[in-house]
């Protein structure tokens, strides 16, 4: 993944996933990602783990700013 692709992915997470993930527990987020991976066998191996990590990092950064 190029730096530009990483930046675009982070922005898409911020714009589309994060607003929903802010009200979810880690377990709920992980469950949804696992379900999507199960239904989409063409996803690259490790994509779900990377997505979960990015969601949690961004979510925690926002929560820390709001303290």
Torsion angle of alpha carbons 59, 5, 2, 22, nearest 10°?
10
The first and second tokens of residue 38, run together, are 């199960």
CA dist., res. 25 & res. 40, Å (int): 23
Q: What is the pLDDT of residues 17-60, one digit of tens each?
A: 999 999 999 999 999 999 999 999 999 999 999 999 999 999 99
CA distances from 5 to 9, 50, 55 (A): 6, 14, 16
Q: Residue 67: pLDDT above 80?
A: no
Mean pLDDT of 4-28: 95
What's residue 66's pLDDT?
82
């Amino acid at each position: 993944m190029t730096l530009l692709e990483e930046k675009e992915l982070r922005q898409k997470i911020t714009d589309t996933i994060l607003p929903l993930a802010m009200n979810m527990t880690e377990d709920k987020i992980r469950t949804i990602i696992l379900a999507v991976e199960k239904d989409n066998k063409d996803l690259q191996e490790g994509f779900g783990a990377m997505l979960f990590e990015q969601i949690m990092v961004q979510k925690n950064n926002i929560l820390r700013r709001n303290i």
